[in-house]
Structure 1
Amino acid sequence: MCGRATIITPQEQLEKRFNAVFKNNVQLPENVNISAGEQLPVITSEAPGEIQLFTYGFTPHWAHKQTYMLNARSEGSNNIENEMDYKGTLGIFNKPMFRHAIKSQRCLILVDAFIEGPKQEKLNKPFLVYPNRDRGPFAIAGIHDSWQHPLTGEIHHTVAMVTTTANRLINRIGHHRSPVILSKEDEQRWIQPDLSITEISKLMKPFDSKGFNAYPISQKIKKPDANGLELLKPTGEKLFKDYDRCLYERLKYAEDHSFTIREERLVEGDQFILF
């Protein structure tokens, strides 16, 4: 289960990356610890050129009360053992909660990273999962719906992340589920309104772990109201060795004066800054 996400890329850069714009003076808040009930930037199949802010936590339009479903299993009630190489039927198309949205209300959820923990310890042992090689924000496959409060009449636009089985990286963390992360080539396909069930199914697969890495962060992140860049600071080594800057270093480098960062990193013995 993916319950937390990070978005800190400036609004203008997000628009450029996804070739879409924020409309109606919408302001994207920086948030390194997005949890249930908070806002996530999304691009829907109904408005592919627009970035909107939806509430994280899916509620179907027919629900009597708000449900805050964070994740939608692509296998539905199938694959209860969460086998990594599962090739069977994807039950999400028959699940009452999601069957309408997965067929006609798909969206891209725009994030810089997501936070996951082992199956047992959960966010008592959190890891930040992020793209390596300075690749910037990416898109998670999502579904959305609009729910109207029965008393106030207020409309809530809600969203959930579609999940699949774990890949090598997520399995290394000790978790059994992973969000469906779309390649750049598949982002526009996911939000095509006339996509067939067969084509949708092909996109709901584990992401390529070679393009990502992860490292442990402070368990302070489990508090929904905790925020700030320091929460993304590594508390241990990356799961896979590489020579790329971790997400915290990239964001810190962009935030501070480059000379200061160079000095701080050299003190810590990071010779790769010289290359």
Structure 2
Amino acid sequence: MCGRFVITEAADEMARLFEAIPANDLPQVPNHNVCPTNQILVVLGGEGRRLTSMRWGFIPHWYKSPGDGPLLINARAETIAEKPAFRSAARERRCIVPATGFYEWTKDADNKRLPWYIRPSGGGPIAFAAIWQEWRHGDDLMNTCAIVTTSANAAMAKIHHRMPVCLSPEDWPLWLGEAGKGAAMLMRPAPESYLDFWRVDPRVNSNRASGCDLIEPISA
């Protein structure tokens, strides 16, 4: 799964990378502890790509309030096409969530949560596959999204059995619906060599923690 992530690249850098027009109300970066329900950067495809802001936490159209059901921050690749909450978005509303890295947790012998930071081995940003939904109830209107996850590759499985779907640049047009059909084949684990990971301070266990030191390695 992906329950927390990091974004350090500036919005204008992400706009250039994805060749997208940036909106005016983008969330502040860097953010070394992006949490569910935060506003996050999202790339939308089409004739002119857009870099916009959405709530991380997909809200199905039948929810009467954002808290009317489970918090849907991830969508499983294996079932995304069948789940009532996700199937329409998987066909029609795919997007990309830019990130620098993400966190995952293991547990020690005392059942304490041990955080790990995971990032591309060559550095640079990650493009998470995601889906989005416009939620409206009365006068309330909100664009929301979920990150797509798949089974972990062998390297990542040492930490967790799930991982985000990470898209390479050549995959972006297909995922965004700009290059025809076949996006389902992109929902696969990244190559084992794609990611590096290391232990970080348990301070990140708190969603209130902040600062660039959150991703600094510590002794395991």
Q: For residues 49 and 194 of structure 1, do their structure 2 counterparts lie closer, same or farther at Cα, with a shift above 3 Å needed?
A: closer
Q: 1:45–1:105: 8 Å Cα contact kept in structure 2? A: no
Whole-Å Cα distance in 1 between the matches of residues 154 and 211 of structure 2?
29
Whole-Å Cα distance in 1 between the matches of residues 128 and 18 of structure 2?
13
Whole-Å Cα distance in 2 between the matches of residues 220 and 119 of structure 1?
15
Whole-Å Cα distance in 1 between the matches of residues 27 and 2 of structure 2?
25
> 1:181 is matched with which residue: 166, 169, 191?
166
Equivalent position of 2:195 in the other structure? 212
Partner letter of residue 152 of structure 2?
Answer: A
Partner letter of residue 168 of structure 1?
Answer: A
Whole-Å Cα distance in 2 between the matches of residues 208 and 133 of structure 1?
13
Does 2:130 match 1:145? no
Per the TM alignment, residue 202 of structure 1 is displaced from its structure 2 partner at its CA by 0.7
Does 2:158 match 1:172? yes
Equivalent position of 2:32 in the other structure? 32
Per the TM alignment, residue 25 of structure 1 is displaced from its structure 2 partner at its CA by 5.5
Task: Report the RMSD for the aligned CA atoms in angstroms.
Answer: 2.2
Q: 2:107–2:113: 8 Å Cα contact kept in structure 1? A: no
Equivalent position of 2:74 in the other structure? 71
Whole-Å Cα distance in 1 between the matches of residues 210 and 135 of structure 2?
28
Larger Rg: 1
Which has the higher relative contact order, 1 or 2, with Cα contacts under 8 A spaced 6 or more apart?
2
Whole-Å Cα distance in 1 between the matches of residues 71 and 30 of structure 2?
21
> 1:131 is matched with which residue: 120, 132, 156?
120
Task: Specify every segment of 5 or more residues in structure 1 that has no aligned partner in the other structure, as ranges.
Answer: 77-91, 238-275
Does 2:212 match 1:229? yes
Aligned residues with identical type, % of pairs: 31
Equivalent position of 1:86 in the other structure? none
Task: Specify every segment of 5 or more residues in structure 2 that has no aligned partner in the other structure, as ranges.
Answer: none
Equivalent position of 1:113 in the other structure? 101
Per the TM alignment, residue 23 of structure 1 is displaced from its structure 2 partner at its CA by 2.4
Aligned residues: 216
Partner letter of residue 224 of structure 1?
Answer: N
Whole-Å Cα distance in 2 between the matches of residues 119 and 97 of structure 1?
31
Whole-Å Cα distance in 2 between the matches of residues 62 and 8 of structure 1?
34
More strand by share: 2
Report SS of the residue matched to 1:103. Answer: helix
Partner letter of residue 197 of structure 2?
Answer: A
Q: 2:152–2:189: 8 Å Cα contact kept in structure 1? A: yes
CA deviation profile, 1:159-187 (whole Å, cap 9, x unmatched): 101111010221122x1111100111101
Q: 1:119–1:176: 8 Å Cα contact kept in structure 2? A: no
Whole-Å Cα distance in 2 between the matches of residues 211 and 113 of structure 1?
12
Equivalent position of 2:59 in the other structure? 59
Does 2:87 match 1:99? yes
Q: For residues 35 and 223 of structure 1, do their structure 2 counterparts lie closer, same or farther at Cα, with a shift above 3 Å needed?
A: same
Equivalent position of 2:16 in the other structure? 16
TM-score (norm 1): 0.72
Whole-Å Cα distance in 2 between the matches of residues 148 and 225 of structure 1?
29
TM-score (norm 2): 0.89
Report SS of the residue matched to 1:118. Answer: strand
Report SS of the residue matched to 1:125. Answer: strand
Report SS of the residue matched to 1:162. Answer: strand
Whole-Å Cα distance in 2 between the matches of residues 122 and 71 of structure 1?
24
Whole-Å Cα distance in 2 between the matches of residues 48 and 172 of structure 1?
40
Q: 2:89–2:132: 8 Å Cα contact kept in structure 1? A: yes
More helix by share: 1
